[in-house]
Amino acid sequence: MVILKDGTTDLEGTDAATMKIILDGLEKQGHTVRTAEQDKSYVTVNTQKAVDEAFQKRNQQLEDTIKEMTGIDKANASEKYYDYFKRAIELKGTELTAVKAKVKEYEEKGANGNVLAEEYKKQVTALQAQLGVAQTEFASQLAQKGEEIFKTKFNSELNQSIARVTTMLRGDIAKEFLPDIIKAKTS
């Protein structure tokens, strides 16, 4: 048991062994006891640690927001958030400038701001017309070739039939009249 001297308001005059017992008792009850120098060092170390953790959390939130808003990833893990932010904003600014230029170009060219669509529409129409002409020409040539094949087959069959009939004709018909007679009959 610790006894304080009557008339004192602190531990003045308490020997070192008693002071150790007091401090050990306070620590057993869950109290932390530090000297002024120890407390100053503790606050300095732990304050810096808390500040570093807060900044790290804030920096990560900033990086996540930059990624979400720009879609641009960090260049590498060691890239500082402010360098990352500056690079991402510059890239998006460049893209925005290019898009604005295209919009302006489309607006200047008319066609409700969509000149390329109108041009593509014209090209498609022209290609469809060319395809129609090519299909018609193909069908015509196919029909013409079909007629030529039919005529060739017909003439071949006709010539074979004439050759067979010619061999069966009477011998009293003059040979010079045969082509005229065959031509008249086949017509």
pLDDT digits 0-9 by tens, 107-142:
776 655 566 777 778 888 887 888 777 788 878 887
Residue-level pLDDT at 92? 85
Mean pLDDT of the chain: 80
Arithmetic mean of pLDDT, 150-179: 77
- In this predicted structure, the answer to whether residue 56 has a pLDDT above a threshold of 60 is yes
CB count within 10 Å of CB 22 equals: 14
Virtual torsion, Cα 54, 58, 64, 68, nearest 10 deg: 150
Binning pLDDT at 50, 70 and 90, where does residue 3 land?
low
Name the residue with higher pLDDT: 157 or 117. 157
Please state the rounded mean pLDDT for residues 78-107. Answer: 83
